[in-house]
Structures are given as C-alpha cells and as structure tokens.
C-alpha cells in the first residue's frame, strides 16, 4: 500500500530529526505542478533557475507570479530561487515589487543568505549567470566570464544556473572556494549528482530535453554534523568527458 503525503512527511521528519534537509529542483519551465506529490516536507527548498519560458513574452510577469504563488505555499521553512537563461521576466525592476508579496521567498542574484536550522548554519550564495548564450537572459559576454566567476563568494552551498562542466571559469572558482554543495541546472539531460574533490555537485533539472516532460525527481540532501545523505538521484556519468578536471 502506498503512503500518503502525511505519512511520508512524518517518516522523513523522524528520520531527519536534528539535521538540515534540503530539496533541490531546477528547470521546471512553468510545469512546477508536476512536482506537487514529490514536495511534501523539508527545511529548505532550492530552485536553480528556468522557472519560466520567459523568452516567449519577456515582459509578461504572470508566469513569475504563478511560480511564486506555488513556491511560497510549499511546506518548507525556507524557499530560495535564482534565475536561469529562460527567465527574462526576472531581469525587470518590477520583480522587486512582486517579491514583496512573497516575503517567505528568498531571491538570490549575486547575493548570499545565511540560514540556521536545528542549530546548524549554512551560507547560500546564488548567481544566475550563463555563458555562451548570446541573447538569452543572464548571459555574460565571454570577455567577462572570468571576472564574474571571481565575484562568487565563499559559501557552504553555491547556487548557479550554468553547469560547471559548461563553464571553465565557474569550475575553477568552485574548486577554489570549495563549497559543500554546488547546485545548478541548465543541462536537463545530465540531471543527477556526482561527488568530486570533496564537493557534491547537483544538477536538479526536472524536465527532459528537448521535450519538457517531467522525468526526474527532486534531489534531497540531509546534512548532519558535517555528513551528507542523499535521496532520489542518478549518478552523473558524463564527467569523464569534462575537459577541466
């Protein structure tokens, strides 16, 4: 017999008592409702960009409001998101006014926040930039990529949209600051995790590519006394082809 959401929530609460549990998602592309049955409890939920298909109408804030209405209602104490290359509406000043309507949601754009759960504190730093995507949201010209990567602050959990295997300077910065976790998205077909040189890399993309059907589960990480346990993941296998290792 399958468990109800309440039963699943109680089981996870009992299992993770005293730990910080974080759920990672990305690239929902206005199909976030597909995840409703998967998001039933946690301390922190993180979305690493492409919440909209904003390239269709870059000035339409309705998809952003729809996402924030959904995101703010999720059963997590803290909700954090950043932008992605499809999220043109997030580049407009009116976003700041909209965010005031959702005070329990944290938007990081070259910013950091320190969150404390169960007497454990984690610093999250979020930056939405992408590379080599001229004409897309948050794209950084090639001559500025190195500089932008160097602006990333030391943190426990780094949130980017671009993938480190897609951006040499980002990868180098990640290895310099050594976060516990580097979470990103963008590369739908490579969703999953890998653990390299003491860093847990998480590609939390939820939708397939090129068809945006829901094929991946949210990735959950439990942190307790410096140790991490992970649920719902595929091992990223293409790192052997990554030229910057």
Q: Give me the mean pLDDT over the 168-192 stretch.
A: 90
**229-234 LR contacts (CB < 8 Å, sep 24+):** 230/193, 230/200, 233/192, 233/193, 233/202, 234/191, 234/192, 234/193
pLDDT at residue 12 greater than cutoff 50:
no
Q: Give me the mean pLDDT over the 55-66 stretch.
A: 92
pLDDT at residue 10 greater than cutoff 50:
no
In this prediction, residue 98 carries a pLDDT of 98
In this prediction, residue 23 carries a pLDDT of 97
User: How far is 64 from 201, CA to CA, in rounded Å?
Assistant: 27
User: How far is 57 from 94, CA to CA, in rounded Å?
Assistant: 15
| Choice among 81-90, 101-110, 124-133, 229-238 with the minimum mean pLDDT | 229-238
Q: Give me the mean pLDDT over the 146-153 stretch.
A: 94
Q: Give me the mean pLDDT over the 144-159 stretch.
A: 95
In this prediction, residue 118 carries a pLDDT of 92
Q: Do the Cβ atoms of 211 and 187 come closer than 8 Å? A: no
Can you say whether the dihedral through the CA atoms of 115, 43, 77, 199 is positive or negative? positive
- Total-model pTM: 0.89
CATH code given to domain 5-237: 3.60.21.10
In this prediction, residue 179 carries a pLDDT of 97
User: How far is 183 from 171, CA to CA, in rounded Å?
Assistant: 12
């Amino acid at each position: 017999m399958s468990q109800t959401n309440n039963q699943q929530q109680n089981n996870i609460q009992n299992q993770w008592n005293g730990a910080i549990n974080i759920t990672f998602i990305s690239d929902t592309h206005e199909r976030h409702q597909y995840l409703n049955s998967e998001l039933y409890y946690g301390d922190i939920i993180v979305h690493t960009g492409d919440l909209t298909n904003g390239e269709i109408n870059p000035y339409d804030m309705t998809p952003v409001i729809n996402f924030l209405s959904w995101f703010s209602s999720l059963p997590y104490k803290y909700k954090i998101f950043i932008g992605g290359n499809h999220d043109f509406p997030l580049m407009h000043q009116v976003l700041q006014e909209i965010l005031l309507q959702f005070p329990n949601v944290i938007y990081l754009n070259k910013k950091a926040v320190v969150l404390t759960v169960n007497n454990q504190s984690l610093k999250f730093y979020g930056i939405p930039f992408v590379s080599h995507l001229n004409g897309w949201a948050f794209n950084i010209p090639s001559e500025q990529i190195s500089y932008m990567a160097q602006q990333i602050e030391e943190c426990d959990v780094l949130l980017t949209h671009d993938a480190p295997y897609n951006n040499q300077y980002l990868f180098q910065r990640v290895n310099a600051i050594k976060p516990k976790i580097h979470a990103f998205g963008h590369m739908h077909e490579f969703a999953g995790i890998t653990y390299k040189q003491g860093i847990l890399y998480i590609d939390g993309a939820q939708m397939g590519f090129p068809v945006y059907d829901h094929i991946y589960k949210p990735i959950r990480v439990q942190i307790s006394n410096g140790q991490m346990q992970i649920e719902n993941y595929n091992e990223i296998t293409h790192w052997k082809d990554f030229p910057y290792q």
